[in-house]
Structure 1
């Protein structure tokens, strides 16, 4: 089960506070019944929210949108995922942006990968390869598949 996103958490917390203040004004007998109803509905609401948020997005991504991964090189070290996402969203649907960092220093390495709708990927490559971006000339091409480790038996 996935954890709910930040928005769901805030809404749940606000509803919990409202329930607390309502219960505070009730008699002791009603508070016990109210607390039980709130606890059960919160549990069910969390399960339902987690189920729909996990399945609806994943199935939409997996089934309806075919994607292609694009390599983006010569990125400025100060560029972050949101800036790169915005740049590529001008060309089409962006599913994911991954900028690689050095394991030891945590600094960006100047390249990354953008996963886009397959229909928009070629357009993005043509439009952004050799384009000036934050005083750097981008290198954009289709990413090569990482070779899978083969086990010798």
Structure 2
């Protein structure tokens, strides 16, 4: 189950405040107030389903068959997700950008992954592989599938 996003929480809180003032002015039992608050959470979820929130989108909005992942190596350390997204968006729709960081220092490691539409992936590889970007020569290729990790330690 997904955790609620901030707009759902805000809507539920507004309903809870309304419930408090409405039911405090009349003599209502705490059970009635609690039921109203729980109903308000469900109303907030229903209201939020129709929003354009990315968390509320269904997996069928972007079929994974049309999305491919590119490995991007030799990135400048000062490059951020926004600049890499802008660079690749000229070749197709960019779904996500993940620049890898060292887990101990938090500094960028000089490579990352770009998920983009399959129709632009070949043009992006052709145009950006061995291309100069902020004084670095990029290495761009289709990412290999990551092998499944086993949770057992020997």
Q: Verify same fold: TM over 0.5.
A: yes
Q: Are the structure 2 counterparts of residues 148 and 15 from structure 1 closer, same or farther at C-alpha, using a change threshold of 3 Å? A: closer
Range that drifts further, 2-11 or 89-98: 2-11
Q: C-alpha offsets along residues 70-124 of structure 1, whole Å, 9 cap, x if unaligned?
A: 1111111122223322322222112222211123222111001111111111122
Q: Give me the whole-angstrom Cα distance separating, in 2, the residues matched to 1:112 and 1:98.
A: 5
Q: Give me the whole-angstrom Cα distance separating, in 2, the residues matched to 1:19 and 1:90.
A: 50
Matched, 1:61 2:65: no
- The answer for the alignment partner of 1:9 in structure 2 is 9
Q: Are the structure 2 counterparts of residues 29 and 12 from structure 1 closer, same or farther at C-alpha, using a change threshold of 3 Å? A: closer
Moved over 6 A (4+): 52-55
Taking structure 1 as the reference length, the TM-score comes to 0.71
Q: Are the structure 2 counterparts of residues 20 and 142 from structure 1 closer, same or farther at C-alpha, using a change threshold of 3 Å? A: same
Taking structure 2 as the reference length, the TM-score comes to 0.70
Q: Are the structure 2 counterparts of residues 32 and 58 from structure 1 closer, same or farther at C-alpha, using a change threshold of 3 Å? A: same
- The answer for the alignment partner of 1:96 in structure 2 is 96
Equivalenced residue count is 147
How far did 1:13 drift?
3.6
Q: Are the structure 2 counterparts of residues 131 and 149 from structure 1 closer, same or farther at C-alpha, using a change threshold of 3 Å? A: same
* 1:84-123 correspondence runs (5 A): 84-123=84-123
Q: Which has the higher helix share?
A: 1
What's the secondary structure of 1:103's corresponding residue? coil
Q: Are the structure 2 counterparts of residues 91 and 21 from structure 1 closer, same or farther at C-alpha, using a change threshold of 3 Å? A: farther
